[in-house]
Amino acid sequence: MSSANNPQAHSYNFDQVFPASATNRDVYHTVCMPLVEACLRGFNGTLIAYGQTGTGKTTTLSSPDGMIPRALRHLFRRMHRDRYRCTYKVRLSYMQIYQEKIFDLLGDPLDTATPDSPLFSGHDLPLREHPDLGIFVEGLSEHAVRTEAEVHALLARGQQRLVFAETKMNRHSSRSHAICFLTPLFNPDASGASASASAASGDAVVRGRLTLCDLAGSERVKKTNATGTQLSEAKDINLSLLELGNVIQALAEQKKHVPFRNATLTRLLQESLGGNCLTSLIVCVSPTRRDMSETKGTLMFGWRAMRVKTHARINVEIDHEKRANELAEQLALKGMYIFSPIPGSLTHSL
């Protein structure tokens, strides 16, 4: 890649380059399907769409034939196929990061909400860290879903609360980072092909997690003619994406200090970027010469991200509720044996 102002050519290597003729089906089978399969084996998987505003990130992820609808179809078909071997439960959460604050897109509306200011119960939620779960959003609602249609209905409800605005570069520009979490939990049959040896015990539950991130687009403020609220939004977006780039660079260079805490986005994606996760990145670029500078920045981000290593593992947890019920049954039976009068005998317990 070269430009008139900078004739020096730059080359970038990627795992896959999709031409303009590529379909979402092509992208899904190459990029997203392996993450869904891994998630159904108990791994964490993350898909991130990154790029300049107006380059097709939301279309790639959320259009009717995009990554999210295809992932849902794949997920529920697999669950239906394996229904005689595994007992599945699926939970859904949906949130956005707007001006460095976390909002639950599926939270209950507040009495003070108006069409122009859709406040809801899950606003400005804090991030916490758990020794097993990693980084999580405290208070983010989780919704049990049984069908693909239920998920689509919840996502449609949440998308009505996403913050959009018209800018010079994009008539329907997202002003927030939208993140969807799908968490399948299952108890594999001990006689079947379990996710791991430890999961074969009746007390174990295997937990996968699929995180789908539609990041707000980077944009040069001078090109957008933004003022007022839109200018403030653009600055917050660019700052969080800058910090994301700094984290990727630090991880790629294996620096001792990685600035995850500098932005809400990077803190939330800490496990996805450098921890227990399988992560894929789709970088979307513009074909026009006037966007050359932004395209080079996007390609550099993607090239650096390829050098980042994560360490994914299967998530196996003890089903404490099931174990407690089993112990209660055992104690009840034992109590019946100890205290039941038997003719010709004397029972005693301490």
Structure confidence by residue, pLDDT tens digits, 274-329: 999 999 999 999 988 988 989 999 999 999 999 999 999 999 887 666 667 777 77
55 is in an annotated binding site: yes
Are the beta carbons of 184 and 40 closer than 8 angstroms?
A: yes
Task: Determine the residue type at 314.
Answer: I
What pLDDT was estimated at residue 170? 44
Confidence of residue 253 (pLDDT cuts 50, 70, 90): very high
Are the beta carbons of 301 and 188 closer than 8 angstroms?
A: no
- Helix, strand and coil content of the chain, in percent to the nearest 5, comes to 40, 25, 40
168 is in an annotated binding site: no
| pLDDT, mean of residues 51-63 | 90
57 is in an annotated binding site: yes
| pLDDT, mean of residues 332-338 | 65
- In whole angstroms, what is the distance from residue 76 CA to residue 249 CA? 37
Confidence of residue 234 (pLDDT cuts 50, 70, 90): confident
Are the beta carbons of 93 and 106 closer than 8 angstroms?
A: yes
What pLDDT was estimated at residue 175? 74
The mean-pLDDT minimum among 1-15, 130-144, 301-315 falls in 1-15
Q: Which of 182, 184, 186, 183 is nearest to 86 (CA)?
A: 186
- In whole angstroms, what is the distance from residue 240 CA to residue 330 CA? 53
Q: Tokens standing for 303?
A: 């090239």
- Looking at the chain, the whole-number percentage of residues with pLDDT higher than 70 is 76
58 is in an annotated binding site: yes
Task: Determine the residue type at 71.
Answer: A
| pLDDT, mean of residues 339-343 | 51
DSSP type of residue 64:
T
In the predicted structure, residue 53 carries a pLDDT above the cut 90 = no
101 is in an annotated binding site: no
Are the beta carbons of 54 and 173 closer than 8 angstroms?
A: yes
Reduced to 3 states, what is the DSSP secondary structure of residue 175? coil
Q: What does DSSP say about strands 209-214 and 44-51: parallel, antiparallel, or unpaired?
A: parallel
Q: Tokens standing for 183?
A: 């968490």
Q: Which of 46, 33, 70, 72 is nearest to 177 (CA)?
A: 46
The alpha carbons of the chain give a radius of gyration, in whole angstroms, of 24
139 is in an annotated binding site: no
What pLDDT was estimated at residue 42? 93
Residue recorded with tokens 């600035």:
259
- In whole angstroms, what is the distance from residue 163 CA to residue 102 CA? 12
Confidence of residue 194 (pLDDT cuts 50, 70, 90): very low
Q: Which of 151, 187, 213 is nearest to 42 (CA)?
A: 187
335 is in an annotated binding site: no
The answer to whether domain 24-321 has CATH 3.40.850.10 is: yes
What pLDDT was estimated at residue 111? 46
**Position with higher pLDDT, 345 vs 282:** 282
245 is in an annotated binding site: no
Task: Determine the residue type at 277.
Answer: C
Reduced to 3 states, what is the DSSP secondary structure of residue 27? helix
